[in-house]
Amino acid sequence: MRHLRKKNHAYKNEETPYGGGAPVVVLPTYIEPSFSISVSPDDTIRKVGDTQVYDITPNFDRGSIQIDGAEQDKRSGVISSYGLDGSVVTEPISKSITIVEGDNDMSLQVFYEAGPQPLDSLGNEVDSPYSAGSIIKSKTVEGVLPIVSVPYVDGSETMADVLEEVMLVSYSSNSFLIEIASETADLQAGTESKWKILIPKALYDSLSSVEIFQFNNLTTQDYTNDLTGNFSVTQPVSFTVNGTAYDYVELENTDNTLTLSKLDAKINLIS
């Protein structure tokens, strides 16, 4: 009588064929812990010298140990503490910052205990518990000095000859749009429009060049009139922001044939 030899098969997770023998063992899978922070107000840039209280909300997910898609337990242990810039804090968490030029950082660290022992579907210990540890997350607010000019007031033919803060521009920006008013005395006298733009010296010094293009509302309907050569550069000049004097670079139109009441311009910042 001829006997058939059964081939040996490898069964994943030690499961056996035909439903006999040892029970099927399902090993756990893992979702790792994660951590994020929410900051309010959610500033990306802020004026130098401002003082702002930021509320920081931690969002810690302990992860998961799963068997066949169902949660067996959490992957990490519970939160033991939080650290803000190296100091232990408790919720609610906030930080007061007086903005300086450049990066203003908030770093929140969550510390957690070791996680539970993972088990397979039969209750046997497998792998290792998640070790106690910490995760750190940071939020950066860029401190910038404002762009300064004589702002144009739409519909007005009389502009104040006062330099003002007109906008905040990230020092990593490639360009910005601005409407600049002529100085009243020059406009009334019919002489040149002395458009002025003051750019923070720290920003100016980080660039290879600055280009000034006027909006062409006759043909292209775009910023195509290159006025860069019409502007002189004076540096440093001083302008006071939040009670402190800072160095700026002054760009001033020197073309006495231009007598427009305003300059609608795009300023290209070339790195």
What pLDDT is recorded for position 88?
97
Q: Assign domain 24-144 to its CATH architecture.
A: Sandwich (2.60)
Share the mean pLDDT of the chain.
87
What pLDDT is recorded for position 136?
97
- Domain borders along the chain are 24-144, 147-270
Q: Would you place residue 161 in the very low, low, confident or very high pLDDT band (cuts 50, 70, 90)?
A: low
The rounded distance, in Å, linking the Cα atoms of 75 and 118 is 8
pLDDT in tens, 252-268: 888 767 666 678 999 99
Whether omega before 41 lies within 30 degrees of 0, making that bond cis, reads yes
What pLDDT is recorded for position 12?
44
pLDDT in tens, 68-118: 999 999 999 999 999 998 899 999 999 999 999 999 999 999 999 999 999
What pLDDT is recorded for position 193?
56
* pTM for the full predicted model: 0.82
b/e 247-263 (16+ beta carbons within 10 angstroms → b):
ebbbbbbeeeebeeebb
State in Å, rounded, how far the first CA of the chain is from the last one.
89
